[in-house]
Chain A
Amino acid sequence: MEYLLDQLLNGLSLGCIYAFIALGYTMVYGIIKLINFAHGEFFMVGAFAGYFVLSAAGIEAIGLPEPLPMILAFGIAMLAAALSSGVLAVIVERLAYRPLMGSSRIAALLTALGVSLFLQNVGIQVFSAEQRGYPEARRYIDLDDAADYVGQTFPGLAYATFTVTSPTGKDSEVREILAGPDKALTADAVAELKYKKDADGEPVGGFYVSSPFSHTAKTLIVIVSLALSFGLLWLLVHRTQFGRAMRAVSYNPEAAKLMGIQSTRVISMTFFVGAFLAGIGGIIWGMRYGKIEPFMGFMPGLKAFIAAVIGGIGSIPGAVFGGILLGVLEVLIPAYLPSEYSGYKDAVAFIALIAILLYRPQGLFGRFEGEKV
């Protein structure tokens, strides 16, 4: 039972990230009927922007993990991530997609593929291809000050990291947990740490205290931020002038233009809002999974598109529902299969896609549009 609950939570948080990306897909598709393959790359850029802000802010130095400054730091990083994704999307739309207005759907699709490849490879040039560990909210405590903490418990974990050389000659990082919420730091552990050395002979010198948020709490934060974003988006689309213009362009671009709506601006804004959400998804991904790289956007991007199709492309609640459903399926199905089948995890989404296209091509929330002759 606990296993099921754990897996459900894992699936939920993966699904929420898919939902963040899927919202942008569905909005862009709803308005200009383009599968914007580059959307996954907006997500990637958001993750990197968040990474740089968090690193620059020195998340270790702010004196964390006191919850309040940490939330502030993540708030700023999230805003930076979302804004940089959004601005990139507006630039891409202006340079690559707008010149294609009125040309064939296939040309637009190919351009989107090209933009996606382009951004991935520019990402490699700019960020380098290697994986980076995402900054963790943790505080460094020097061994000289460690005496003050002996006998205390910590809201998160207190741990020391050091590198060891494996028999094959590869260095890897090892973590030793010293204390936690229900285990006080002992003087012995501190004394022992003084003799620990890295593979290159450097003494360890200190230990870290990690963020007070547990796994479950992090998942809850993800869910709450999705719910909040979804609510704001719903208000934007249904309760503002801009939202009305957006729905008009999506319903009939020609008629909307005749009614005096500046459709190019609406399209541009739609890209911005969609990528804004993808950027938030990117930073959440980084915090949740801890690793980012320039190729990270492609697979989640594709899967988020699948999620949007499952929910009914063009439908905003559909994207959220489809994303969560896909995330849960993708975690639960391999969790209950024998372990030798766990490699097939990536196939789940594509099989779901083909199944939904065959039996309900308009998606779960979509409306069927009759074919026009």
Chain B
Amino acid sequence: MAFVLDHLVHLSILVMLALSLNLINGFAGMFSLGHHGFFAVGAYAAAVVVFYGAQGSVPAGEAAVVAGSASSILWFVASLVVGIVAAGIFGFIVGVPCLRLRGDYLAIATLGFGEIVRILAQNTEAVGGARGMEVSYLLLERDVDTQNEYALLYAILVVALTAVTFVFIRNLIRSRHGRSLVSIREDEVAAELVGINLARAKLMAFVVGAAFAGLAGALYANYMTQIEPKEFNLIKGIYILLFVVLGGMGSLTGTIIAGFVLYVLDKIVLNLMPQEIQSLREVLFALILIILMISRPQGLLGHKELADTRFWQRLFRRQRGLKESS
């Protein structure tokens, strides 16, 4: 049970990250390769709050933070909020210079940003340097007895927040702001000519996307006991990107489906296959990416959502038709 829930937490966090990346890459059409940087900022911001805030506020006489107490839960919420805000601010800082770049150059600049974040984390002693930071559990005591409860509680929380992310981004895309983003993706010059403020729309995409990545990071840091700078490397960024690209850039449901498929595939190769095949795991992912780009560059669903596909509509029309005739 705890095993399934643990995977659910990890998958949900990755999907949340991929959804927020899809806002920037898929809907706004700004190809970013540095999303793991925002994830890292969120994780480190949350870790700092937990480490210096929650653990730091414990009076000298007492042993450590008591997980599950009212103040601990408050600190937990505070760490999530700080993670979101910190990543959002970074999104703004990265977004402003990136307004002048597009295409390949934007990809390389954001990749550089992701690397800079990792190098900074690795060399700053206040956040543990290369060793990383310890993050104590705040939400609930976690030991052998409460393992299942903790996993269940956290899984519910993370899945709910991922659902919130999904709904928020979907509604944003359907709003005036989101439509202007899509129009920028389709034709930047035409969008500008009909009066869309390019800079504002692009910055909004960056800030919102980064903020949700920060939330994912904060949730991740609070779930793991330890975060290390080397976890937030480019491979992580590419893994997330694969969710978005396989699902279809500009399809939120596609991202979720692709995330699920890839994650399960990844874990099957990792856990069930013999040792020799395991090391081929990354070769497999690279091959998926190459073959996908050559044979179906728009991804599984392209710009469509699941509900817009013929397959889905056929399923539901038939049912509706039956109802009408009876």
* Residues in A lying within 8 Å of B, measured CB to CB: 33, 35, 96, 99-100, 103-111, 113-118, 120-122, 124-125, 302, 305-306, 309, 341, 343-344, 346-347, 349-351, 353-354, 357-358, 361, 373
Contacts and interface: CB of A to CB of B under 8 A. Distances in A.
A354 B290 contact: no
B297 A118 contact: no
B74 interface: no
B119 A343 contact: yes
Given A117-B238, A117-B286, A344-B123, 18 more contacts: A103-B293, A104-B297, A107-B297, A110-B241, A113-B238, A114-B290, A115-B290, A117-B289, A118-B287, A118-B290, A121-B280, A122-B283, A125-B280, A341-B123, A347-B115, A357-B101, A357-B109, A361-B101
12 contacts: A109-B107, A110-B245, A114-B287, A343-B123, A346-B119, A347-B115, A347-B116, A347-B120, A349-B112, A350-B112, A350-B115, A361-B100
Contacts of B120: 344, 347
Contacts of B112: 306, 349-351, 353-354
B119 A347 contact: yes
Given A114-B286, A354-B109, A373-B189, A343 B97 contact: no
Q: Interface residues of B toward A: which range?
A: 35 or more
B282 A110 contact: no
B108 A305 contact: yes
Q: Looking at B120, B123, B285, B286, which has the most chain A CB atoms within 10 Å of its CB?
A: B286
A105 B189 CA distance: 18
Contacts of A120: 282
B293 A361 contact: no
B282 to A, nearest CB: 4
List of 10 A-B pairs having minimum Cβ-Cβ separation, nearest first: A114-B289, A350-B112, A118-B286, A343-B123, A117-B286, A107-B297, A114-B290, A121-B282, A111-B293, A121-B283
Contacts of B316: none
B109 A105 contact: no
Contacts of A349: 112
B23 to A, nearest CB: 16
Interface string B92-108: 00000100110111011
A99 B292 CA distance: 12
B29 to A, nearest CB: 9
A227 B177 CA distance: 54
B293 A354 contact: no
Contacts, number: 109
Given A124-B279, A125-B283, A105 B103 contact: yes
A285 to B, nearest CB: 20
A124 B245 CA distance: 26
Contact of B294 (A96, A341, A354, A357): A96
A100 B297 CA distance: 9
Nearest to B120: A347
Interface of B: 31, 97, 100-101, 103-105, 107-109, 111-113, 115-116, 119-120, 122-123, 189, 235, 238, 241, 245, 249, 279-280, 282-283, 285-287, 289-290, 293-294, 297
B294 A100 contact: yes
B283 A110 contact: no
A373 B282 CA distance: 40
Q: For the complex, would chain A's binding face be called helix, strand, loop or mixed by DSSP majority?
A: helix
A78 B293 CA distance: 34
A124 B282 CA distance: 10
Contacts of A351: 112, 116
Contacts of A114: 286-287, 289-290, 293
B106 to A, nearest CB: 9
Contacts of A343: 119, 122-123
Contacts of A35: 104, 107-108
A353 B294 contact: no
A111 B100 contact: no
A122 B290 CA distance: 14
Q: Which residue, A33, A116, A350, has most C-beta atoms of chain B within 10 A?
A: A350
B289 A111 contact: yes
A108 B245 CA distance: 13
A341 B97 CA distance: 25
Contacts of A341: 123
A35 B112 CA distance: 14
A212 B186 CA distance: 62
A111 B295 CA distance: 11
B242 to A, nearest CB: 9
A114 B283 CA distance: 9
A361 B119 contact: no
B295 to A, nearest CB: 9
B31 A109 contact: yes
B149 to A, nearest CB: 39
Nearest to A122: B283
A347 B116 CA distance: 6
A211 B294 CA distance: 49
Given A109-B31, A113-B238, A347-B119, A358 B290 contact: no
B116 A358 contact: no
User: Most A CB atoms within 10 A — which of B104, B235, B241, B245?
Assistant: B104
